[in-house]
Amino acid sequence: MTDATDSPTPGPDTPHVTIEPVGPSTWRDVADLDVHASQRAFVAEPSRYLALCCYGDDWSPLAVRADDRIVGFLMWAVDPDDGSCWLGGILVDRRHQRRGIGRLATRRAIERLHAAHGCRAFALSYLPENVAARRTYAALGFVETGELEGDEMVARLQLDDSSELGPSSA
């Protein structure tokens, strides 16, 4: 998601963040997203994620919109073995980072998937050296489980009736 710098807590300058399915009017904007060179070890190119969503059997794509502009991407899938809703490919364009967008986009995805699909168990993974991702997801309540997905650490979030997702804004 981001490199080894902290993501700020959303504040008064944080844009209004929404997520929406990628479609005919947004896929090009998603494909054009770019991360900092130092982050390319942590995320694939957006076009690869779009291809996974289009030609794979599992992932569904979501565009991240901040103040009426596509600025990020994430995808989701339900694990048929345990019913967990996995989030992946979470990225924010380099020109829009350090504004809390990644954290808010992840929160919006959880809220949307819970409301629309009844998802209560969420999972994601990241490379151990991606300190910013680890901090961002921990702030949302994700807990590392000791599981590995390839060479990535798995963190999970279980919603219950009283669940709160870290700091909120916008």
CB atoms within 10 A of CB 146: 6
Band of the pLDDT at 11, cuts 50, 70, 90?
low
Report CA Rg, the chain: 15
Q: What mean pLDDT, rounded, does the chain reach?
A: 86
What CATH architecture does domain 17-117 belong to?
3-Layer(aba) Sandwich (3.40)
The domains of the chain are located at 17-117
pLDDT at 8: 47
Distance CA 34, CA 95 (A): 8
Give the model confidence (pLDDT) of 127-156 as tens digits: 999 988 999 999 999 999 999 998 999 999
